[in-house]
Structures are given as C-alpha cells and as structure tokens.
Amino acid sequence: MNPFGSLLTLGAVGLGAVYVNARQYAAIVRRRKQRAKEAEKRRLLSANGASDDGAGAMERGTRVRYASRSAHAKNRVRGPNGKYLTRAELLAGAGGEEAKARAEARELDIAERARKREAKAREREEKKRAKAARDQAARAAADAAAADAADARRAAA
C-alpha cells in the first residue's frame, strides 16, 4: 500500500479513480463489502417475498433506520395533502374528533407541566431570598459582635 495514498476506483459512479488516505482505504473497502452483502440479502429477501421487519419495509424496498422515529411519524395525524397537522389545526378539529381530543389532552398536560415549572421556580426564588436574609442577619450579628468586642477593648484600655 502506498504510504501517500491509495487509488480507489469508484466503479459504477463513473468518476474514475480517486486517491484516498491510505489509512481510510481499508475501511472504505470493508464498508463497500458490507453494503454489497446487505444489498444481496435484501435482494434475496425481496425475491422470496420475505420481510425482515413487521412493518414490511423490505417489501417496499426501503429500510427503517430508526424504528421509534418511524413509529412516531406513523402515529401523527396528517391532513388531506399528506402534511402533518399543526397543533392549532388539530385543536380546530381538522384531524377529526379523536385527534382533537388528544390535542386538547396534550394542551392540558403541557399547561400542567408549565404550572409545575413555574411553582418550582417560585420555590427556588423563595429559598434564595430566605438564604440571603439569613446571610445578611448572620453578617449583621457578626458585625455587632465585632463592634461589642471593640467597645470592650476600648473600655478596658
């Protein structure tokens, strides 16, 4: 392997040969082999009519990279044009009665969480004020004690 770079052919891409970092060459080749292996597996599965997930992604010729994101997207309400409906549209009833009820319940949940957040912020602020008052009282007591000690020294002198 050339220490200054390796010649990597791009084959089907049609860009000819490209020089790449010698340290990257092995990883690039390894990833290409892995992709080819997965493509062959998908081709065989689709030829047999099999599917590797319950959603039928292999039957459609696509893979689901993040299953939870895909499930979330499938559960979202869409409008007649296929776009996701906004919160305001759901609350207006554009997605049907069930979607409107879910949106209203979500609004109540969001409002409750906001109230709890505000209550915690108030509580933190009250604690901060109480601590500041205690610190000020302690400083005043220390100053008074220092002044009394100074008076006692002056009287003794």
Residue 2 pLDDT greater than 70, yes or no? no
Can you give the pLDDT at residue 51? 54
Can you give the pLDDT at residue 108? 97
Hey, what are 156's tokens? Answer: 């003794």
Segment 28-36 shows an average pLDDT of 93
pLDDT band at 58 (very low <50, low <70, confident <90, very high): very low
Mean pLDDT, rounded, of the chain: 85
Q: In this structure, are residues 5 and 19 in contact, taking their beta carbons and an 8 Å threshold? A: yes
Segment 40-47 shows an average pLDDT of 85
Query: DSSP code of 72?
Result: H
Residue 110 pLDDT greater than 90, yes or no? yes
Q: Which amino acid is at 33?
A: K
pLDDT band at 65 (very low <50, low <70, confident <90, very high): confident
Residue 50 pLDDT greater than 70, yes or no? no
